[in-house]
Amino acid sequence: MDSITRALHARVDDTHAKPAVTPLYQASAFEASSPFFYTRKSNPNIAEFEETVRTLEGARHGVAVSTGMAAIRVCLDQLRPGDEIVVNSYVYGCSFKLIQRLAARMGWSLKVVDLSEPSSLKQFTPKTRMLFFETPTNPFLKTVDIRAVSSAVKALNPEALVVVDNTWATSLFQHPLEHGADISLHSATKFFSGHSDVMGGILLTDRDDLEEACRAERFYSGAVLAPHSAWLLRRSLQTFSLRMEHHQQSTKEMARFLRDLPQVTRVYYPEVDGHQLMGYGGIIFFDLRKDLVGRYPDFIARLELFGTGTGMACVTSMVAQPYTGSHASMNDEEKAQMGLDRGTVRLCFGLERLIDLQKDVKAALEHIDMQQR
């Protein structure tokens, strides 16, 4: 046989290699006898990532997809023309835009209501087929009572699906399925990754029919998580609880610290009730004193430890203005309706020493206050 042919077929028998951790399966296809068959269906790294998150959140099933937005899209694919979808007034800008675009194209009726207000339950109807919300919300960290909204909508339509974007609370601090949600989803790009170097998403459910529907949607749409991303995410999850405990501690302390600064008029921190939301960490919002709002560019320029841009939930801290960042895809009127203006600042705390973060933020706020005088 020619050496070229032999080289093409050369393989090492790794049956007895027994690596200490699951290696990266950078393969698109598997032998016909393998349960994995084709990576668009699944692979060992994807399955291991799913198993890890499923275990953390106490869910029966996990279905990993390419990004957080892909996870939301897979949920929305469960809707049919004419269905009614209720979305919380406070959601990530791209989630809202995706729902709004699809609603127009698919003939869904879209209702935007503040689900943190008990009176909003009156807006549900027997035609409501999906509730979509984050809790705590982006922005403002308002909390939604998952049990209350689930019971109310299912009393009117037992087929209604309750979908919670659990990205910000994370699997460590909140288990939406235990409170009546049908699907809990995550942008794994955020705290699960924790290092700003990988994108991913995951859907969790206790229902076999929904797992099957999500897997089919992933397979046919091609929105599968890449094996290398799954491998990186699994690796990051090994330190997830340690990172989250650190984020929680810094976030609590920073919220207290910011409340006492004269340049800050309001700090947003979620209600940690110890029942639905068992803890919280990573991200807070604050409002700049009115006269300082125009100084936001000087504020971020003066910060030394906070990176700018859309990234968050990583080992280093980030600052952002939701008005021009996470919610840029919404128009001015939509932002005004949710009460979002240029004075609201988002801070995401990394793993730096708390004292250094406090000094940095204080110095930048004092700097713009001095400029203003």
Ligand X SMILES: Cc1ncc(COP(=O)(O)O)c(C=O)c1O
Binding positions for ligand X, rule: CB under 6 A: 67-69, 92, 95, 134, 138, 165, 167-168, 187, 189, 199, 201
- Shortest approach of ligand X to residue 159 CB, angstroms? 25
CA distances from 133 to 76, 284, 329 (A): 13, 18, 18
Q: Which is nearer to ligand X, 69 or 214 (CB)?
A: 69
Q: How far is the CB of 260 from ligand X (least distance, A)?
A: 28
Assess contact for 45 and 227: CB atoms under 8 A.
Answer: yes
Task: Please give the angle made by the CA atoms of 140, 145 and 148, to the nearest 5 degrees.
Answer: 150
Beta strands in 183-337 (DSSP E): 183-187, 201-205, 264-268, 283-288, 306-307, 317-320
Contact assessment for residue 345 and residue 324, using Cβ atoms and an 8 Å cutoff? no
CB of 226 to ligand X, least distance (A): 13
CA distance 104 to 51: 36
Between 42 and 167, CB nearer to ligand X: 167
User: Six-digit token pair at 274?
Assistant: 């110890």
Q: At its nearest, how many Å lie between ligand X and the CB of residue 71? A: 8
Residue of minimal Cβ distance to ligand X:
68
Residue 53 or 368: the one with the smaller Cβ distance to ligand X is 53
**Among 243, 244, 237, 242, CA closest to 49:** 237
Q: Of the two residues 292 and 314, which places its CB atom closer to ligand X in the complex?
A: 314
The smaller minimum CB distance to ligand X, of residues 154 and 175, is found at: 175
Q: How far is the CB of 192 from ligand X (least distance, A)?
A: 10
Furthest CA-CA distance within the chain: 84
CB of 89 vs ligand X, minimal distance in Å: 14
Nearer to ligand X, 240 or 302 (CB): 240
| Bridge partner residues of 84 (DSSP) | 109, 128
Q: Which amino acid would we find at residue 92? A: Y
Q: How far, in Å, CA of 245 to CA of 269, rounded?
A: 16
Q: Could you tell me the smallest distance in angstroms from the CB atom of residue 269 to ligand X? A: 17
Alpha-helical (H) ranges within 122-239 are: 146-156, 170-173, 208-221, 227-237
Residue 261 or 328: the one with the smaller Cβ distance to ligand X is 328
